Amino acid sequence: MSSDFLPEELLIATIADMLQGLAHVAVGAQSPIPGSAALLARARSNGGLRVSMLGSETNSPFTDGGRELFDCAAQGRIDAFFLGGGQIDGQANINLVGIGDYPKTKVRFPGSFGSAYLYFLVPRVILFREEHTPRVLVPKVDFISAPGISDEDTYRVGGPHALVTGRCVFDFDKTEKRFRLSSRHPGHTVEEIREQTGFDYDETGDVPETPAPNAATLDLLRSRVADEVSERYPSFAARVFSRAAA
């Protein structure tokens, strides 16, 4: 990967590209890279994008946390949200409960919270997990905290849009109900991605390299976005952007 930008900056810019043209993006807890991406997309939109970031005092209109976010989602007022998981499988199911047979799981994850609710209601859910290994991207999750697909007679306006990892980007084909390798990050190969992915996916032709952030994007990231995200994620901003807390 080029030394001109950090891996985190590539991921932020990649996710921000998926948010262009939207009206309202919400970001949950413990999401510094998606949060930075939402702030970058807002900066590019000249204020045309609303960002609601849980836990932030300056980038959230909510006074009652998750309850108000859920209300907004139910009213159709959130266009994009982010979900991750201890495990993610090829049908975009996510596991936030644990590894092993429930309830006797060998490893416990933080819990599902409102993931299934938001997965059904938010039109564009972007799955994100930096670690891209067979232990995370599995053939079948041990526990379905939130399903990626539903039966045809199930009313569902929301669902998976893409999966962004530290190695690549997958698009999700809702008709085929599976992922397709969309791009590989600089320094990574299609062979390596296949080897490190536990689920099967589609791959067509030459897989392009994920576009690197241009100079204008890096300038925004390292100035305005770095200052804004440091309020919610000071350690992340200090590590990636060398910024002190706002």
pLDDT digits (tens, 9 = 90+) for 102-156: 988 999 998 998 999 999 999 999 999 999 999 999 999 999 999 999 999 999 9
Closest by CA position to 83, among listed 137, 129, 40: 129
d(CA 213, CA 211): 6
- Residue 1 pLDDT: 37
Distances (CA, A) of 152 to 14, 27, 174, 179: 31, 28, 11, 19
Domains of the chain: 7-82+113-128+148-241 (3.40.1080.10)
d(CA 167, CA 193): 7
pLDDT in tens, 152-207: 999 999 999 999 999 999 999 999 999 999 999 999 999 999 999 999 999 999 99
- Residue 159 pLDDT: 96
Average pLDDT, the chain: 94
pLDDT above 80: residue 3: no
Pairing of strands 50-53, 24-27: parallel
pLDDT in tens, 164-174: 999 999 999 99
C-alpha dihedral sign at 12, 237, 95, 139: positive
d(CA 112, CA 134): 21
Phi-psi region of 62 (alpha: psi -120 to 50; beta: other; left: phi over 0): beta
Please compute the mean of the pLDDT values over residues 14-32 and round it to a whole number.
96
